[in-house]
Amino acid sequence: MNSTRQDLPGLVTFEHEFEIPLNHQEPGGAKITVFAREVVTPDTLGEDLPWLLFLQGGPGFPSGRPMGNSGWIERATSEFRVLLLDQRGTGRSTPVTHESLACFATPQEQADYLTHFRSDSIVADAEWIRRELTGGEAKWTLLGQSYGGFCSIQYLSQAPEGLEAALITGGIPGIDTPIEGIYAHTFAKMAEKNRAYYARYPRDVQRVKDIAAYISEHEVKLPGGDRLTVERLQSLGGAHGMSDGYETLHYLLDEAFVEGPEGRQLGYAFLRGVENRTAFDTNPIYAILHEPIYSQGPATNWCAARMHGDYPEFDLGATPLFFTAEMIYPWMFEQSAVLSNLAKAAEILSQKADWPGLYDLDVLAKNTVPVAAAVYYDDAYVPVALSMESAARIPNLRTWVTNEYEHNGLRADGGRLIGRLLDMTRGKL
């Protein structure tokens, strides 16, 4: 383990790098680096604090970078030594990028490598790091946001002996729900979100129709060079799951058109905004593994694409045009100059029919670790019904079902969420 200290306003951080097996079943094989940033306050620097491990949402995104002692980190560091983990393949961990994957000779080799980047490997990394940091003596508390909650439930079934408690925000998965069942819920929820969006901004019905018509009639290039299609426009719905998401999308669409030398056209600022919100080329794990993170055996076979036609309200020619959210389609690889180089590997993984199980239902049924979870009633990404079904099957897991927050509750009001969840695990609520 290599470590360096870095001081920030109100915080002291220690940057750790760990050399860990790529495949934990082959500890003597290839190694990768996993990075984690330890965070404390100057006042608690010398204290023997318990650990809190933060598991980021995703898949395929690094842990947040602290700017100072604020937000949920301020509440957490008041009593914990916080560890911000860059899950394997992200951030300062050995990265998975289109450049690094180009080092493999074939798409099959790329796909084989990527099978080691799901939650089972992330949890094994965390246990490796816990043993190295604490000598295996100290347990830690988890804070799992979204996909980090999926990892937390996997942790409960794979290595509960390493856990003091677990806090989950918007991230209880359907532990044995087929992927088709998950998308049935998310398509229905996104239809509901779209109806609410257009009810708030009825003029956007025509505005979106005009934008889609312009895209269909012109060859529109995004700033990075990829072509803007109506499919890509439709994928802007990721914002619908956040507390400020409707406004974020509305203001983007509101300024879509400008006057150019040949008349009315889509403006550069709008095109940059669309590109920033719909590009996965900097985080290919998200695009390639988004469906496989749900699979426990069967092939996903591009589930979202297969089911899209079952929901006519999402037809590209419908008025109003309904936006999709956390749904990945083969066209995303075809229409991206960067991701097109990974299309064959993505196809191989979509057809993989022997994914190992992620959740040991017998172990979960005997859980003794205190768990508290904020379940967002209106969650666009993690279906509340499936979360509650799973929660009912895990002893010592208490839920706080709320419509006060959307999926970004931890970012919006993290101090309150952590405080309440901690109180729930300690029997105070």
CA-based nearest residue to 95, from 304, 282, 231? 282
Question: Backbone dihedral region of 60: left (phi > 0), alpha (psi from -120 to 50 degrees) or beta?
Answer: left
Q: Is 290 a residue of the active site?
A: no
Residues near 236 by beta carbon (within 8 Å), at least 6 away in sequence = 249, 252, 274, 277, 278, 323
CA atoms of 229 and 137, how far apart (whole Å): 54
Place of tokens 């040991």: 360
Distances in whole angstroms, Cα of residue 125 to Cα of each of 55, 135, 145, 383: 12, 15, 18, 28
Give the sign of the dihedral formed by CA 89, CA 91, CA 93, CA 96. Answer: positive
First to last CA, the chain: 39
For the beta carbon of residue 402, count every other beta carbon within 10 angstroms. Answer: 14
Tell me which DSSP letter residue 2 carries.
E
Would you say the C-alpha torsion 203, 204, 206, 210 has a positive or negative sign? positive
Name the strands in the sheet holding 140-145, side by side, starting at the edge strand that comes first in the sequence: 2-8, 11-21, 31-40, 81-86, 51-55, 140-145, 163-169, 371-376, 397-402
Do residues 152 and 171 lie in contact, with contact meaning Cβ atoms separated by under 8 Å? yes
Q: Among this protein's residues, is 146 annotated catalytic?
A: yes
Active-site residue identified among 63, 93, 119, 146: 146
DSSP secondary structure letters along 284-348? HHHHHHTTGGG-SSS---SHHHHHHTT-GGG-TT-SSPPPP-S---THHHHT-TTGGGGHHHHHH
- Cβ-based neighbours of 357, under 8 Å, separated by 6 or more: 296, 297
Residues serving a catalytic function are 146, 354, 407
